[in-house]
Structure 1
Amino acid sequence: MVFRGVLSAAILCGMVAATPLSQKSPPSVKLDAATFTGTTNGSVSAFLGIPYVQPPVGDLRFHLPQAILPYNGTYNASAYGPSCPQQTFKVPGNLTAETEAILASLVADGSPQSEDCLTINIFTPAGATSNSNLPVAVYFFGGGFAVGAASRYPGDVIINRSLELNEPVIYVSLNYRINGFGFLAGQEVMDAGVANLGLHDQRQALRWVQKYIGSFGGDPSKVTIWGESAGSTSIAYHMITNGGDNEGLFRAAFMQSGSQLPVSGMKGGQPYYDMVVKAAGCSNSSDTLQCLREAPFDTLKSAINNVPTFYDYQSLVLAWMPRPDGVFLVDNPQTLIQQGIVANVPFVNGDCDDEATPFSYSTLNITTEQELRDYVTTYWSPHASNSTLDKLMELYPVTPADGSPFNTGNNNTVTPQFKRIAAFLGDINFQGPRRLLLQARSGHQKIWSFVNKRLKDLPGLGAFHGSDINMVYGPADMTDYLVRFVANLDPSGNTGINWPEYKTETPNLLTFLDGSIPANITQDTYRKEGIEFVTQMMLDDPWQ
């Protein structure tokens, strides 16, 4: 619409005019009775490390997030707050230096860590005022619900590119509790009503945005939630919680490499709870959860570090993940989606072509088909019959050319079963859930999907999980699609190629490619029989 372009131009002119002044005087914003002073770098102002709930320490450890009290006084908002406690990861050994470095980068975080970590960060075009009413992107980081921090994803790139596109937006990132601090599970946790704390943190952050983003120049009615990996999976849960009522907290969603997982209850988390209780010295306590609340930080952190990670043998059967608790998730997320309990907002949801290659190096000791069958029944589908396993082996054959990294022939044959396992794990954990969500919502709301097939020649990894992050934070062409979607609820525009909506009858995929043709439109029909089979297998036999 013409008036929108005129308004954007006026906002941009105001920002340009305000930039020299803001460089001389640090930007500030008033929240309640407090003044927060941030920083400006060129065309971008940032307000960092603002607490959005009361610190989850002391008596508030393992409790639902408590609303922040009215702000008062003065705050220096020029630096990120500490990361939430990270789980320690051990990268699989005997890898090439390049592969080991990439796997390590997916879980690395060198910033200070503290339980007092629930802070939010706002990046704005310099000179934005409370009258700017700009669209807002709220980013949830990934990391398998075990690691990750907002400080790894600065918003300067997004803001600068939005200004270049004449589509100015505001970027918000936040920390939320992860691993055992945020996703402890089990009967004791469920009885206390404190499951899925990380999701509750995110939800409370979205409420904070509704209350305060206007002071930074954002429009609270134009919020898009955006995430990658566990952050993207979190978005799926925000879309299905509360009976699909999003409470006006967001109007759209942009999801990269993560959809709802097939989990039926809290039972699967009990072994990890018991493991933490034992390691923390709480086994003899009459109230083990209270004992964990009172445990010294270093003791609890060490106990959580004992729990398997996604680089251990069980791989993507995550120890820490959201589980149905009767509150935030009232049922298996897959079931809720099949019942149509999904927020009616436009969304984008896409994957990388070779999602599971980084998570398949922990299973290199699986070298025979029988060992693979045992692995599947141990971790993925305990009740699978022999005929189910036979069909699975048929649909995911040992032939290297059929495995992941896909379309690389006999290359990347790390072990006789590696590419086969990577194909299976990628489809059951990423492609299948994405396709289930898209096909269930086709015709009900506007949806788009993509697949990233760049870096296919990267040895042993291909277009691996997380490889599309630089396509946004690069910046690169996906930055443009994101910005336009946040601004207009349509990812297409002057981005080089029209991105048609995804429909069951025409499941269009924007396909990012290496080479002279950077992208084209393909159909989401690859491995149709296999993906349908593993999806149904998990519907029939979901994780506990």
Structure 2
Amino acid sequence: MLLSQPSLVLLAAYCHLVAADRAAPTATLDTATVTGVASSSVNEWLGIPFAQPPTGNLRFQLPQPIPSYNTSFSATTYGPSCPQQNISLSIPHDLPAETLDYLPNPSFNITASEDCLTVNVIAPATATPGSKLPVVIWIFGGGFEFGSASTSNGSMIVNKAIDLNVPTVYVSMNYRLSTSSDQDLFSLTAFGFLASKEVKQAGVGNLGLQDQRQAMRWVQKYISAFGGDRTRVTIWGQSAGAMSVGLHMVTNGGNPEGLFRAAFMESGSPIPVGDITNGQSYYDFLVTKTGCAGRSDTLQCLREVSYGTLVDAINQIPNLMSYQSLAVALLPRVDGVFLTANPQQLVLQGSVANIPFVTGDCDDEGTLFSFSTLNITTDAQLADYLQTYWFPSASTATIQQLLVYYPQDPTQGSPYDTGALNELSPQFKRIASFQGDVIFQAPRRFLLQQRSGNQNTWAFLSKRLKSVPVIGSFHSSDMLNVYGGNDMASYLVRFVTNLDPNGSGDLAWPMWTTHSPNLLAFLDGSVTQQIVQDTYRADAIAYMTNLTLQYPR
């Protein structure tokens, strides 16, 4: 039943009054009392520090745990986001109004600070320290460049779990982020993913992932104070957050250290990346821009320069929505500590946490990221683009074969199943198909193929909003489903509790195996769910997988 606007206002007012009748919730951490917010049927504790501020000499260092909480404090507002660029989506001038309504806006106004390592906990109002409820840890996406835990409403997930009688505690965290450089199109930089030989020698690569891992350790130590069970934790993410989840599965020899028992990935998997020293040229660029050139210890110099100086240098560089788009490789890299090898090689070696997992993609992952390349209109220009930004070490013949697998025919491009429609430029749907497969679909299928028979796995494909002009079932469109409290949210919270997404009221979701690669498709129309086979573009995706294994970025 849909509620009218006046009804929604009255309902919100009622929920506010109900919450106001309850005392502010408290939790005891060590010797400190932490006061949260009572909000309808849930309690929220927001902006709790989980590590020492990564400022001063702790900048570009591994996250340091807080020794203990010995001073009581209020946790009633989200903490500041980690430093990041303001990123604007390149929007073609002639997009239909319906499409514009769905476009994400990464240029949201945020308060950013280096002192940003905080967690948020949302629990049912009835939870007590002895409740031992399952826990879901959310890792936000944003290309490792932008985002904040404050932009996702975790109370929607907790309320869905309550409604299904599988009450759950929700945790989210901030982590240090990255930007990329036009000096080295394949590098990672900035606060969370500085990349160079100096970083590798110091053992301080992939700091954003290390922050996430530290937040998981915090959950192990303190989540019982909020009613959670530290032995029943699921890690869950979308886009860069899902890639992070996949990388936590392959680090440490596949040993999750008891930090989590299951994983849920939306639009992200362990991806093929190369050595952290590939970012050397940008590190040198950053050193020069901040006045650290000539110093004997440039890494220490970068710790000492002012926050403003460092941010000014970072803001001179392009971002995820720039011309090179997903080829900027805003991804973690092999640092010898968190990642000891190309993540997909780790998968091949069996260095994967032996836990149940769910993974899936949207049908048209690449459309949003292909607006910036509309000036590519010929086969020759596309071949040059792929050679320059994606596979600089590949032969011309290899690139030409890739073009055969991803033809110019718009009926085979993305948005898929839309015929000759949505062709913004002669190469738009072709590039969108390639980008969606290389970053999202191919790594997901590769992970499933390698792990089939080793652990319980489920996979999905979101084909909702297919009718949205130009972008179709675009990247992140599934978030409207899960954070909207719809059927994907039901599968999620049941999986968190039972390690199986199935339950009454929804279509039975069979596991994915190599013999029966089942996908749960989320659809528009009267039939909202259907089981389909994960066999589309089989030859093209297999070629892509072999290519990225041979030429990791």
Q: What TM-score, normalized by structure 1, do the two folds share?
A: 0.94
Please list the CA deviations of residues 425-455 of structure 1 after superposition, one character each: whole Å capped at 9, or x if unmatched. 1111110000000010000000000000011
Q: How many residues align?
A: 524
1:542 aligns with 2:552: yes
1:14 is aligned to none
Q: Report the Cα distance in structure 1 between the residues aligned to 2:104 and 2:523, rounded to whole angstroms.
A: 25
Residues 494 and 356 of structure 1: is their aligned pair in 2 closer, same or farther, counting only changes over 3 Å? same
1:223 is aligned to 233
2:152 is aligned to 153
Residues 411 and 302 of structure 1: is their aligned pair in 2 closer, same or farther, counting only changes over 3 Å? same
Please list the CA deviations of residues 268-299 of structure 1 after superposition, one character each: whole Å capped at 9, or x if unmatched. 32232223223223223332222211111111
Q: Identical aligned pairs, as a percentage?
A: 55
1:143 is aligned to 142
1:3 is aligned to none
1:115 is aligned to 114
Specify which of 69, 72, 97 is matched with residue 71 of structure 1.
69
Please list the CA deviations of residues 478-534 of structure 1 after superposition, one character each: whole Å capped at 9, or x if unmatched. 000000000100001024200000000100000011111111000000000000011
2:131 is aligned to 132
3-state DSSP of counterpart to 1:223: strand
1:491 is aligned to 501
Please list the CA deviations of residues 301-327 of structure 1 after superposition, one character each: whole Å capped at 9, or x if unmatched. 121122221111111123532100110
Give, as a single letter, the amino acid of the residue that structure 2 aligns with 1:145. F
1:189 is aligned to 199
Give, as a single letter, the amino acid of the residue that structure 2 aligns with 1:412. N
Specify which of 24, 42, 48 is matched with residue 22 of structure 2.
24
1:441 is aligned to 451
Give yes or no for contact 2:24–2:38 (8 Å, CA) kept in 1.
yes
Residues 153 and 93 of structure 1: is their aligned pair in 2 closer, same or farther, counting only changes over 3 Å? closer
1:523 aligns with 2:529: no
1:290 aligns with 2:300: yes
Instruction: Give, in angstroms, the shift of residue 93 of structure 1.
Output: 4.6
Give yes or no for contact 2:144–2:177 (8 Å, CA) kept in 1.
yes
Please say which of residues 21-30 and 289-298 is displaced more in the overlay.
21-30
Instruction: Give, in angstroms, the shift of residue 69 of structure 1.
Output: 1.8
1:511 aligns with 2:539: no
3-state DSSP of counterpart to 1:360: helix
Q: Report the Cα distance in structure 1 between the residues aligned to 2:89 and 2:297, rounded to whole angstroms.
A: 35
Instruction: Give, in angstroms, the shift of residue 394 of structure 1.
Output: 1.2
Q: Report the Cα distance in structure 2 between the residues aligned to 1:100 and 1:293, rounded to whole angstroms.
A: 41
Give, as a single letter, the amino acid of the residue that structure 1 aligns with 2:289. A
1:321 is aligned to 331
Please list the CA deviations of residues 376-411 of structure 1 after superposition, one character each: whole Å capped at 9, or x if unmatched. 111111122232222211111001100001111111
Instruction: Give, in angstroms, the shift of residue 461 of structure 1.
Output: 0.7
Instruction: Give, in angstroms, the shift of residue 234 of structure 1.
Output: 0.4
Please list the CA deviations of residues 25-78 of structure 1 after superposition, one character each: whole Å capped at 9, or x if unmatched. 110010100000001111110000000000101111110000112001211111
Instruction: Give, in angstroms, the shift of residue 219 of structure 1.
Output: 0.4
Q: Report the Cα distance in structure 2 between the residues aligned to 1:78 and 1:109, rounded to whole angstroms.
A: 21
Please say which of residues 96-105 and 258-267 is displaced more in the overlay.
96-105
Unaligned segments of structure 2, at least 5 residues: 1-16, 179-189
1:37 aligns with 2:41: no
3-state DSSP of counterpart to 1:522: strand
Give yes or no for contact 2:237–2:265 (8 Å, CA) kept in 1.
yes
Q: Report the Cα distance in structure 2 between the residues aligned to 1:408 and 1:249, rounded to whole angstroms.
A: 43
Q: What TM-score, normalized by structure 2, do the two folds share?
A: 0.92
Aligned pairs for 1:239-250 within 5 A: 239-250=249-260
Instruction: Give, in angstroms, the shift of residue 158 of structure 1.
Output: 0.7
Give, as a single letter, the amino acid of the residue that structure 2 aligns with 1:62. F
Give yes or no for contact 2:156–2:485 (8 Å, CA) kept in 1.
yes
1:274 aligns with 2:284: yes
Aligned pairs for 1:311-460 within 5 A: 311-460=321-470
Give yes or no for contact 1:23–1:41 (8 Å, CA) kept in 2.
no
Give yes or no for contact 2:365–2:436 (8 Å, CA) kept in 1.
yes
Residues 104 and 157 of structure 1: is their aligned pair in 2 closer, same or farther, counting only changes over 3 Å? closer
2:5 is aligned to none
Please list the CA deviations of residues 60-114 of structure 1 after superposition, one character each: whole Å capped at 9, or x if unmatched. 1110000112001211111100111112223225333755665552x23322111
Give the CA RMSD over aligned residues.
Answer: 1.5
Unaligned segments of structure 1, at least 5 residues: 1-18
Instruction: Give, in angstroms, the shift of residue 267 of structure 1.
Output: 3.0
3-state DSSP of counterpart to 1:520: strand
Give yes or no for contact 1:121–1:174 (8 Å, CA) kept in 2.
yes
Instruction: Give, in angstroms, the shift of residue 22 of structure 1.
Output: 8.1
Give yes or no for contact 1:353–1:452 (8 Å, CA) kept in 2.
yes
Instruction: Give, in angstroms, the shift of residue 154 of structure 1.
Output: 2.0
Residues 422 and 227 of structure 1: is their aligned pair in 2 closer, same or farther, counting only changes over 3 Å? same
Give yes or no for contact 2:19–2:41 (8 Å, CA) kept in 1.
no
